[in-house]
């Protein structure tokens, strides 16, 4: 079986006019860069208006829509679906490092992303981010720094996301609890008790949710990806292959309908808190919530992250870096010795405090 060359971008290639080498997008700039001769090529600025698409109308005409097609190579190990350029054959999986096989390349219909949030963080900046991260970790093994600063297969990847905007109207029933302080007993038995007076409540709230983000891939560790904060969605630009040059782009695995189910659960969670606030009082109980969605719109965007892992004592620990804000999230080992020593010291301090109190 033919295997794909390592360390090859699977986005559209651009050639340097000076030396013919591939041009790649330089994070944080508005130009393509040649790493061989240093030549740069400006990316043309394009005026655009963000166009939110009506979800109900789009789904009604789902089969009639004009789809784009793309080639993807499916990783046999982790099922990732990175896209493949016409001129390229195969590569290593950017997530698990498994070799991707040419026979696993297939063409698929898909809804093309309309916008992209370009990388602002360069690979050269990741070491500084990793150093700050390791220095902030409590109870980290002493030899962990060397392992983290030699990451395995650090790849820049554009991840597929759906975003949803929605107006909601929620009718609810529940009850409000208010604390009342009552003095009971007499003499030495006199005391103040807190009692809750409950009142039935019903009402209607109206809300607007902007840019509810739903990750459209199952490849990543969800517990890690949730830690990536700081997406500036307002900084997205119209999709342009120039911003993708030199990076990997993954096709969505979670489609538009599936993603909206996830978005509704995210909105429902927030709506519960708004209902509680509307009920008021010191305690709240919700009996029913009838939530209606109005004027739901969506867009398909790409967000940048770096994906990598480090090996420590024969075990792999994954971490991701937000390619726009530099926020890092990952799994890490703990030092059993440091934790044990901390517990012993805490016990000794508590013992000293008790002794001082008694004496």
What pLDDT shows up at residue 205?
A: 96
23-27, 109-113, 283-287, 315-319: which has the highest mean pLDDT? 283-287
Q: Of the given ranges (27-36, 299-308, 309-318), which has the lowest mean pLDDT?
A: 309-318
What pLDDT shows up at residue 149?
A: 73
What pLDDT shows up at residue 13?
A: 54
Mean local confidence (pLDDT), 45-54: 89
What average pLDDT does the structure give for the chain? Answer: 85
Output the DSSP codes for 283-326. EEEEEEEEEEEEEEEEEEEEEEEEEEEEEETTEEEEEEEETTT-
Distance CA 81, CA 312 (A): 28
Whether the per-residue pLDDT at 350 is higher than 60: the answer is yes
Distance CA 125, CA 357 (A): 52
Mean local confidence (pLDDT), 222-235: 88
What pLDDT shows up at residue 2?
A: 35
What pLDDT shows up at residue 64?
A: 60
Mean local confidence (pLDDT), 223-236: 89
16-20, 200-204, 248-252: which has the highest mean pLDDT? 200-204
In the chain, what percentage of residues exceed pLDDT 90?
Answer: 40
Sign of CA dihedral 5, 248, 12, 76: positive
For the chain, the C-alpha Rg in angstroms (whole number) is 27
| Cα distances (Å, whole numbers) of residue 174 to 147, 179, 180, 281 | 54, 17, 20, 12
Distance CA 82, CA 93 (A): 8
How many other C-beta atoms can be found within 10 angstroms of the C-beta atom of residue 133? 18
Whether the per-residue pLDDT at 100 is higher than 80: the answer is no
pLDDT band at 66 (very low <50, low <70, confident <90, very high): low
Distance CA 51, CA 301 (A): 12
Output the DSSP codes for 107-126. EEEEPPP-EE----S-GGGH
pLDDT band at 135 (very low <50, low <70, confident <90, very high): confident
pLDDT band at 88 (very low <50, low <70, confident <90, very high): very low
How many other C-beta atoms can be found within 10 angstroms of the C-beta atom of residue 269? 9
Mean local confidence (pLDDT), 190-194: 87
Q: Return the higher-pLDDT residue of 236 and 352.
A: 236
Q: Return the higher-pLDDT residue of 267 and 75.
A: 267
Give pLDDT tens digits for 147-177.
Answer: 777 777 788 999 999 999 999 999 999 999 9
Nearest-5° Cα angle at 282, 281 to 283: 95
Helix H or strand E segment including 171: strand 152-184
Strand order in the sheet with 14-15: 14-15, 22-25, 31-33, 40-42
Distance CA 92, CA 78 (A): 12
What pLDDT shows up at residue 91?
A: 66
Q: Is 222 helix (H, G, I), strand (E, B) or coil?
A: helix
What pLDDT shows up at residue 5?
A: 33
Contact in structure between 174 and 275 (CB atoms under 8 Å): yes
Q: Could you say which DSSP state residue 45 is in? A: P
Mean local confidence (pLDDT), 76-104: 68
Rounded to two decimals, the pTM is 0.83
């Amino acid at each position: 079986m033919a295997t794909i060359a390592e360390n090859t971008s699977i986005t559209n290639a651009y050639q340097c006019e000076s030396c013919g080498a591939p041009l790649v997008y330089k994070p944080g700039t508005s130009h393509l860069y040649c790493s061989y001769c240093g030549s740069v090529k400006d990316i043309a600025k394009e005026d655009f208006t963000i166009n939110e698409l009506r979800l109900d109308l789009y789904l009604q005409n789902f089969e009639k829509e004009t789809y784009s097609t793309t080639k993807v190579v499916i990783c046999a190990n982790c099922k990732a679906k990175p896209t493949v350029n016409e001129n390229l054959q195969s590569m290593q999986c950017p997530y698990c490092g498994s070799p991707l096989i040419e026979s696993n390349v297939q063409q698929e219909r898909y809804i093309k992303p309309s916008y992209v949030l370009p990388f602002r963080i360069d690979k050269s900046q990741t070491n500084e981010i990793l150093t700050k991260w390791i220095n902030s970790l409590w109870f980290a093994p002493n030899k962990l720094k060397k392992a983290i600063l030699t990451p395995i297969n650090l790849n820049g990847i554009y991840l597929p996301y759906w975003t949803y905007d929605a107006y909601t109207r929620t009718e609810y029933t529940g009850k409000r609890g208010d604390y009342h302080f009552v003095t009971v007993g007499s003499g030495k038995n006199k005391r103040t008790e807190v009692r809750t007076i409950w009142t039935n409540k019903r009402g209607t709230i109206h809300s607007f949710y902007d840019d509810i983000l739903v990750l459209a891939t199952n490849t990543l560790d969800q517990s890690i990806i949730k830690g990536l904060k700081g997406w500036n969605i307002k900084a997205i630009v119209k999709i342009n292959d120039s911003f993708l040059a030199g990076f990997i782009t993954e096709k969505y695995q979670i489609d538009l309908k599936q993603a909206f189910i996830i978005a509704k659960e995210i909105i429902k969670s927030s709506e519960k808190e708004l209902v509680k606030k509307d009920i008021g009082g010191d305690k709240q109980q919700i009996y029913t919530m009838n939530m209606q969605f109005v004027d739901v719109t969506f867009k398909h965007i790409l967000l940048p992250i770096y994906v990598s892992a480090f090996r420590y004592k024969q075990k792999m620990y994954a971490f991701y870096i937000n390619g726009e804000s530099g926020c890092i999230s990952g799994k890490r080992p703990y030092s059993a010795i440091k934790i044990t020593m901390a517990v012993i010291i805490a016990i000794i301090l508590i013992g000293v405090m008790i002794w001082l109190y008694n004496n």
